[in-house]
Structure 1
Amino acid sequence: MAILVDNNSRIVVQGLTGSAGRRHALLCREYGSQVVAGVTPGKGGTQVEGIPVFDSVEQAVRQTGADVGLIFVPPPVAADAILEACAAQLDLAVCITEGIPVRDMVLVNRMLRESRTRLIGPNCPGLITPGACKVGIMPGEIHRPGAIGVVSRSGTLTYEAVQQLSDAGLGQSTCVGIGGDPIIGTSFIDILQLFNEDPATEGVFLIGEIGGSAEEEAAAWIGRHMRKPVAAFIAGRTAPPGKRMGHAGAVISGASGRAVDKITALQAAGVEVATGPARLAEAMQQALRRGAGS
């Protein structure tokens, strides 16, 4: 088993005819994902290397049975693309787009509360169930099927963690990049809950960063509910206050969002926190050993 996507997932790519959409859709298909449709208004009836293009998500869903959306569109129209995916009642929408205005995402999140669609992102690398389905821009070759769930706010650090886990013989059940913006569709807690309920996931690696309170909230949830061992790494320990570090949400403001507070909260919840970026797999192995001994 896995969470969110598997080899039965059928993907429609919004923005398929753009350069990024085309490239990554074909890479997803090459990985083995079922990319069944694309959407670009005004280009319905055309194809991209055998993938049919439709004018709307609703048409694509009706004619191909797509249930997962992958969004590669410019920031000014990304919110509308997400809402279109919701209106078509996709089970899952994955928005890779970076730079969506916060005001747009406030409106999107309001609509998501009344929708059946789960949103991953925006400003995220997507997700992958190794050996079954890739939805997004994650490099498929570094992943190995296994029992470690990965959830992350960071794209590049996700790849580093996965490479270390795979090299250590720790394959992954599903890897989810939730996105680094201040407002996102799916939280750490949402994914932790899914991993907690997934019988194929035996442990979880969480990658956080400075800014906001998502990691502290996740730590509180882990302490109360998590039944599986968790390891973590928090990026940005040396970041100066007030300076944005990469992601829009990665900003320390006063005493809020500091790495030290996130680490302290996670450790208090029983999470094994890696002491550096070269020791991610080591922390996961230690968490699994502690879990086996408890």
Structure 2
Amino acid sequence: MSVLIDQHSKIIVQGFTGSEGTFHAGQMLEYGSDVVGGVTPGKGGSVHLGLPVFNSVEEAVKATGADTSVIFVPPAFAADAIMEAADAGIAVIVAITEGIPVADMIKAKAFLADKQVTLIGPNCPGVISPGKAKVGIMPGFIHQQGSIGVVSRSGTLTYEAVDQLTKLGLGQSTCIGIGGDPVIGTSTLEAVKLLMNDPDTEGIVMIGEIGGSMETDAARWIKEHGTKPVVGFIAGQTAPPGRRMGHAGAIVGGKDDTAAAKMEVMRACGLHVVDSPAAIGATMLEALKAQKAG
């Protein structure tokens, strides 16, 4: 099984005819994802990459039955694109766009609150269920179908972890890049819950960053409710307080959201915490062996 997306997901691309949308839609099609069309206002009725282009998400949903959307819309218009997709009944929205104003995202998140929709991102690599579907920008070739779930705030570290897992013969069920912005749709805890409740996910890799409390919230939930081994890593161990490091959400605001503080909580909650990302794959392999032996 997988979470959020699978081989039955019908995907549309918002910002379809732009350079980013074109390139990554092509990559998604090549991977085997069921991309059924795209949206570019003003270009409805045309054909792009052999697929229909629509003026609005509503038109696209009516014509194709799409239930998933991936957004490659410029930052100034991306929050509106998220709300348009939710309003049209899309169930899973993956916002790749980086640099969406925080005020816009606060408005978009409030709009989504009473709707049956899952937003991944923004400023994220997307979601992939290997062998089934890829919705985003991650390199499909490093992934292998299997039973390890990955949740990460960092795109680059997701790829590093996945590469290690695959080389050790540990395929992945679903990898979720939740994004590194201050306001995102799906938290670490929400993503961990999805994977913990997936019967075909045997272990979880949780990659976090300095800033906020998402990882410690997830760790405390795992301590109380977790049934599978979780390998954890926090990026930014040398980050000085008060300075933003890379992602807009990666900023230490106090003693509780440093990397060291988060890792201490994670260890206390029973997670297999690694000090270096290079140890993620091997640690997961050992954790799975210990689980099966015990």
State the number of aligned residues: 294
Q: Distance in 1 between matches of 2:117 and 2:58?
A: 14
Q: In structure 2, what is the equivalent of residue 53 of structure 1?
A: 53
Structure 2 SS opposite 1:279: helix
TM, length-normalised to structure 1: 0.98
> Aligned equivalents of 1:21 and 1:293: distance in 2?
47
Instruction: Give the drift of 1:291.
Output: 2.1
Letter in 2 for 1:180: G
Report how far residue 285 of structure 1 moved. 1.6
1:32 Cα deviation after fit: 0.1
The SS at the match of 2:255 is: coil
The equivalent residue for 1:16 is 16
- Structure 2 counterpart of 1:213: 213
Deviations 1:80-128 (A, max 9, x none): 0000000011110000001111111111111111111110000000010
Could you say which residue in structure 2 is the equivalent of 1:270?
A: 270
Q: Distance in 1 between matches of 2:276 and 2:187?
A: 24
Question: Which letter does structure 2 place at the counterpart of 1:245?
Answer: M
In structure 2, the partner of 1:73 is 73
**Cα separation, 2, equivalents of 1:53 and 1:258:** 46
SS across alignment from 2:277: coil
* Alpha-carbon distance in 1 for matches of 2:28, 2:236: 31
Bigger CA drift: 136-145 or 113-122? 113-122
Instruction: Report the alpha carbon displacement of residue 254 of structure 1 after superposing the two structures with TM.
Output: 3.1
Report the alpha carbon displacement of residue 289 of structure 1 after superposing the two structures with TM: 2.7
Task: Say if 2:71 and 2:97, in contact at 8 Å, map to a contact too.
Answer: yes
Q: Aligned residues: percent identity? A: 57
Tell me the residue number matched to 1:225. 225
How far apart, CA to CA, are the structure 2 residues paired with 1:289 and 1:145? 19
d(CA) in 1 for partners of 2:7 and 2:232?
A: 28
> Could you tell me whether the CA contact under 8 Å between 1:164 and 1:280 is conserved in 2?
yes
Q: CA deviation at 1:136?
A: 0.2
Alignment map for 1:234-273 (pairs within 5 Å)? 234-273=234-273
TM-score normalised over the length of structure 2: 0.98
In 1, Cα distance between equivalents of 2:291 and 2:103: 42
Does the CA contact (< 8 Å) of 2:256 and 2:262 recur in 1? no
Corresponding position of 2:116: 116
CA contact (8 A) 2:180 2:248 kept: yes
Superposition pairs of residues 1-294 of structure 1, within 5 angstroms: 1-294=1-294
Deviation readout 1:221-267 (Å, 9 max, x if unpaired)? 11111111110111110111111111000001231420011101111
Unaligned ranges ≥5, structure 2: none
CA contact (8 A) 1:151 1:207 kept: yes
CA distance in 1, matches of 2:50, 2:256: 50
Whichever residue aligns with residue 66 of structure 1, its letter is A
* Unpaired stretches in structure 1, ≥5 consecutive residues: none
What value does the CA root-mean-square deviation take over the aligned residues? 0.9
Q: Are the equivalent residues in 2 in contact too, given 1:232–1:283 (CA < 8 A)?
A: no
1:183-219 superposed Cα distances (whole Å, 9 cap, x missing partner): 1101111111111111110000000011111111111
Provide the C-alpha distance between the structure 1 equivalents of 2:210 and 2:227, rounded to a whole number of angstroms. 26
Q: Is contact 1:204-1:231 (8 Å) kept?
A: yes
Listed one character per residue, the Cα deviations across residues 29-72 of structure 1 (whole Å, up to 9, x for unaligned) are 00000110100110001111211100000000000111000000
Answer whether contact 2:189 2:215 (CA < 8 A) is retained.
no
